[in-house]
Amino acid sequence: MRTGVLASGRGSNLQMFIDLAQKGELPIELVAVGSDQAGAQALARARSAGIPVRVFTPADYPSPHTREESLLTWLQERQVELLLLAGYMRILGERFVQGADFPILNIHPSLLPAFPGLHAQRQALDYGVKVSGCTVHFVDEGLDSGPIIAQEAVPVLPQDTEETLSARILTVEHRLYPEAVRLLASGQLERSGRRVAERKSGS
């Protein structure tokens, strides 16, 4: 499955996808990595893996819409069949989401619908929840609001800081995100996020 990734920062999820694809443990071929941040570590990781990268710097475009048009055109030229958001710090506009002829997935470091948006781990600590986790979901026009595909919980410990909680969640992210991609690639996911019901033989 020809796969694109959008990332704005560190790129540990991207690296996990690079490693699994290289080992043949996930049926994806990474064909495009896009970013809004020219200095993103994710871009360096993609370049070292020989994946075509492109930066879409907001200041270079007259509007968010024209920027997203260029991004979509590039992904279509790369014949992307699946787009993975991995620490991409921008909300994709309605025209991008509706214009994309491929599914778009995102991973978010909370148990949605709790704590959408920025600093989800800090929001969880501030609220005082005892359990948090991560969510893989389809991307729609809203903020972390599309149909949920997979979730996994982690405990929030009394002595946790934003860093320790983020690290605990990140370990789970690196396992949950590829599981969701595997489900999608094997045709076992409906657009609602539900698993396709098994067909009875002969039907």
Q: Which of 65, 108, 119, 174 is catalytic?
A: 108
Site residue total, ligand GRF (CB under 6 A)? 14
Q: How far is the CB of 107 from ligand GRF (least distance, A)?
A: 4
Query: Is the CB of residue 28 less than 8 Å from the CB of residue 17?
Result: yes
Candidates 2, 10, 78, 122: give the one binding ligand GRF (CB under 6 A).
10
Candidates 34, 109, 133, 146: give the one binding ligand GRF (CB under 6 A).
109
Q: Which residues are annotated as a binding site?
A: 11-13, 67, 89-92, 106
Which part of the chain contacts ligand GRF (CB under 6 A), choosing from 21-29, 50-58, 102-110, 180-188? 102-110
CA distances from 22 to 5, 27, 35, 107, 162 (A): 15, 10, 22, 21, 32
Query: Is the CB of residue 144 less than 8 Å from the CB of residue 116?
Result: yes
CA dihedral of 164, 18, 140, 150, whole degrees rounded to 10: -60
Q: What spatial distance separates the first Cα and last Cα of the chain, rounded to whole Å? A: 28
Candidates 13, 37, 123, 132: give the one binding ligand GRF (CB under 6 A).
13
Examine residue 112 and tell whether it contacts ligand GRF (CB under 6 A): no
Identify which of residues 45 and 67 has a Cβ nearer to ligand GRF in the complex.
Answer: 45
Examine residue 86 and tell whether it contacts ligand GRF (CB under 6 A): yes
Render 33-64 in DSSP notation, one character per residue.
Answer: EEES-TT-HHHHHHHHTT--EEE--GGGSSSH
**Residue 157: how many CB atoms within 10 A of its CB?**
11
Candidates 3, 5, 6, 11: give the one binding ligand GRF (CB under 6 A).
11
108 flagged as catalytic: yes
Q: How far is the CB of 82 from ligand GRF (least distance, A)?
A: 17
Identify which of residues 7 and 46 has a Cβ nearer to ligand GRF in the complex.
Answer: 7
Identify which of residues 44 and 196 has a Cβ nearer to ligand GRF in the complex.
Answer: 44
Q: How far is the CB of 201 from ligand GRF (least distance, A)?
A: 39
CA distances from 20 to 26, 112, 174, 177 (A): 6, 26, 10, 11
Query: Is the CB of residue 5 less than 8 Å from the CB of residue 86?
Result: yes
Which residues have a catalytic role annotated?
A: 108
